[in-house]
């Protein structure tokens, strides 16, 4: 996921994308705990994607939180 692609999305799309990523992260963590996760890097990539989405959301809100 590239940051420029995220900046082209609307606020509603970003919020929906954030919710999907958080749900995916939860699923990956359950898979990891149960020993069914083959690639542990998926958790890292998902966390970074969440951070990117939050960065774009905060930039649009003014970023002075």
Tell me the pTM: 0.90
CATH number of the domain to which 7 belongs? 1.10.287.310
Cβ–Cβ under 8 Å, residues 3 and 35:
no
Write the pLDDT tens digit of every residue in 7-33. 999 999 999 999 999 999 999 999 999
Q: How many domains is the chain built from?
A: 1
pLDDT tens track for 31-56 = 999 999 999 899 999 999 999 999 99
Q: Is 65 a member of any domain?
A: no
CB 47 within 8 A of CB 25: yes
Domain span holding position 43:
3-60
């Amino acid at each position: 996921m590239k940051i420029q692609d995220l900046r082209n999305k609307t606020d509603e799309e970003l919020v929906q994308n954030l919710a999907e990523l958080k749900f995916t992260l939860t699923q990956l963590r359950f898979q990891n705990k149960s020993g069914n996760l083959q690639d542990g890097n998926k958790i890292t990539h998902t966390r970074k994607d969440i951070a990117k989405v939050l960065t774009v959301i905060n930039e649009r809100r003014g970023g002075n939180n």
